[in-house]
Structure 1
Amino acid sequence: MAISKAMRAALHTLSYAANIDVGRTYKVERVLRGLRTPLSPLYQLWDRRVERDGHEVRVRIYSPKKQTDSRLLLFFHGGGWVLESVDTYNSVCRSLARKTGCRVASVEYGLAPEHTFPEGLEDCYAAAREVYRHPELFGVRSQEITLIGDSAGGNLAAAVSLMARDRGEFTVAQQILIYPATYNDHSPHTRFDSVRENGTDYLLTAKRVSDYMELYAGGDPQKLNDPYFAPLLAADLSRQPRTLVITAQYDPLRDEGEAYARALRDAGNTVMLYRMPGALHGYFSLPMRFKLVRRTYDMIDHFLNGDSAHAG
């Protein structure tokens, strides 16, 4: 799906602004994003606390007025491991609860650079372990829990699934990865064409992805090669959950997300893959009036209800 010349010009301008050094601006960006997050009275939502190594991980539960599905979606938000929060993702999680009819649990993990890899991931893992060990607290069975995340949250969901298999503490049955970050190289020399094709003029730039990853790694280049940091590097992708991967056409992360889906499938896992035409990175946070958002919820519905007709 082509983008008009006027839209391309606007995207170019906005993408230029996005190339400002995240390391200098992340605190201001967090404040600005927090100003646009009013809570809604339409849903019951409350916070639970999970203990991990002497500190608490907050988990916010969203329950729609009309809960039509007994399952739980355990959600990890995006934001490059640096920005966003459960508060800024209120609208996304409310929509997710309403459109699926499921209860949604959103995890407040530690952000970089204050909490570098693997701190945020360990927060997500601790929350998932608590939920899977005590599903009755959330009114579900363990096999009715699905991990879901977008962008950096998709990365965290994939890493939690790998960790769960490796540590043997719980089993993840399903995961939904929305334009996930799965690789460690977003330079002009990367193996993925989408970084070169979509890495300058489509809001999320390749430079910004690299900046996020540097902050997440805490400047330690060795962390970049850890498969929990970049799941596509994992030597063994067997025994992973049934997976839905959704990518965006004009996203620098598009090809690595699709490569991860293929690698999971090659390792013997059940995978559905769909590329959203005309979409940019971050589109899932747009209002429901956008067709591509509604289409994404259709894909999620098909996946949750066992429909494989859209497998790619």
Structure 2
Amino acid sequence: MVYCKGIEEMEKKTMAISKAMRAALHALSYTANIDVGKTYKVERAVRGLRTPLAPLYHLWDHKIERDGRDIRVRIYTPKKQTDGRLLLFFHGGGWVLESVDTYNAVCRNLARRTGCRVASVEYGLAPEHVFPEGLEDCYAAAREVYRHPEQFGVRSHEITLIGDSAGGNLAAAVSLMARDRGEFEVAQQILIYPATHYDHTPDSRFDSVRENGADYLLTAKRVNDYMALYAGGDERRMRNPYFAPLCAPDLSHQPRTLVITAEFDPLRDEGEAYARALRDAGGDVQQYRMADALHGYFSLPMRFPMVRRTYDLIEQFLNGETIACQTTSATEKT
């Protein structure tokens, strides 16, 4: 398997996490172990307080109907649109938190840096909408865009699915579902530290769950809580390939893919395993591990080098370029 690491990250040893920072992360991670099922409403409200709209882009909400319910899609058009393509974005938040509103800054930056329009989907959150409801919302939005690309001024092959964390999971699942249902074809997808597997217990096959599952803000317990809420308490749903794409028995005929993982992320190894599985199935896949990064770093301000590097990778991928890579090995139980 080929993992990509930029020269910038490898050379800047000063960017490594210090002992003091590790101690602070450990303390913050302790509070992250509070039961999400009891606190998600408060967390949603708090996150909603930090979402002011800036007049940098033309925003409008396009509604897509599914089963009598409207799915909101917000379109971000950069002032200087230099690219005619469209990025269809699914936000993170463990299928439970976050929204189109809380991801305004991310989508504005994505539009500005790529020159593309970005369409951000407001899917139903768990536990009010358990699997597969949120996924079906994303699929319905994608089907509308891919079947009627002229509404968005693009052609179907100029659309790229993109998502981070739970959004990366949803993007991967939409691609699988599109192949299986045969209603549209996804040409490209970008998965940023995606959740692809269901097991984040100490017995997980992935070393990153044990190495990074306690002291790096996103804890393995919190991932388990999110997944339990998304599954509605039904563990059988967790083994569904649309819930955990790495469980899919067949990963052939998937889109050209970029997977970006974070070094200190419990989800790191499963994201890299998904990239490897796609490649083994004949896919065109590039995979990059962001050094010294924690899960969720993509939502940080643009002044952070790892965030700027991520946008560079996205632009290179969209332009059909091959990302400079170095070879290393993955770690997981067999």
Range into which the TM-score falls when normalised by the shorter chain: over 0.9
Cross-structure match for 1:282 = 296
Task: Choose which of 274, 285, 288 in structure 2 pairs with 1:260.
Answer: 274
SS in structure 2 at match of 1:245: strand
In structure 1, what residue type is equivalent to 2:242?
Y
Cross-structure match for 2:212 = 198
Residues 1:107 and 2:111 aligned together: no
Cross-structure match for 1:222 = 236
Residues 1:32 and 2:46 aligned together: yes
Cross-structure match for 2:149 = 135
Tell me how far 1:308 sits from its aligned partner: 1.0
Cross-structure match for 2:198 = 184
Tell me how far 1:50 sits from its aligned partner: 0.4
Question: Structure 1 unaligned runs (5+)?
Answer: none
C-alpha spacing 1:35/1:93, structure 2 compared with 1 (3 Å): same
In structure 1, what residue type is equivalent to 2:304?
F
SS in structure 2 at match of 1:3: coil
Tell me how far 1:310 sits from its aligned partner: 2.8
1:42-86 Cα shifts (integer Å, max 9, x gaps)? 100100000101101000000000000000000000000000000
Tell me how far 1:309 sits from its aligned partner: 3.2
In structure 1, what is the Cα distance between the partners aligned to 2:142 and 2:305? 32
1:174-218 Cα shifts (integer Å, max 9, x gaps)? 000000000000000000000000000000000000000000000
1:127-163 Cα shifts (integer Å, max 9, x gaps)? 0000001101111000000000000000000000000
Matches within 5 A, 1:55-204: 55-204=69-218
Residues 1:302 and 2:316 aligned together: yes
In structure 2, what residue type is equivalent to 1:289?
R
In structure 2, what is the Cα distance between the partners aligned to 1:221 and 1:299? 36
In structure 1, what is the Cα distance between the partners aligned to 2:93 and 2:111? 20
Tell me, yes or no, if the aligned pair for 2:165 and 2:194 is still in contact at 8 Å: yes
SS in structure 2 at match of 1:278: strand
Tell me how far 1:311 sits from its aligned partner: 5.2
In structure 1, what residue type is equivalent to 2:323?
A
Structure ranking higher on relative contact order (CA contacts 8 Å, 6+ apart): 2
Tell me how far 1:249 sits from its aligned partner: 0.2
Tell me, yes or no, if the aligned pair for 1:74 and 1:128 is still in contact at 8 Å: yes
Question: Structure 2 unaligned runs (5+)?
Answer: 1-12, 327-334
Cross-structure match for 2:27 = 13
Tell me how far 1:5 sits from its aligned partner: 0.8
In structure 2, what is the Cα distance between the partners aligned to 1:112 and 1:151? 15
Tell me how far 1:126 sits from its aligned partner: 0.1
Tell me, yes or no, if the aligned pair for 1:274 and 1:310 is still in contact at 8 Å: no
In structure 2, what is the Cα distance between the partners aligned to 1:240 and 1:45? 31
1:271-293 Cα shifts (integer Å, max 9, x gaps)? 00000000000000000000000
SS in structure 2 at match of 1:50: strand
Matches within 5 A, 1:233-252: 233-252=247-266
The runs of at least 4 aligned residues of structure 1 exceeding 6 Å deviation read none
Residues 1:43 and 2:50 aligned together: no
In structure 2, what is the Cα distance between the partners aligned to 1:44 and 1:56? 21
Tell me, yes or no, if the aligned pair for 2:313 and 2:323 is still in contact at 8 Å: no
In structure 1, what is the Cα distance between the partners aligned to 2:274 and 2:252? 12
Q: How many residues are paired up?
A: 312
In structure 2, what is the Cα distance between the partners aligned to 1:253 and 1:278? 14
SS in structure 1 at match of 2:195: coil
Q: Percent identity?
A: 81
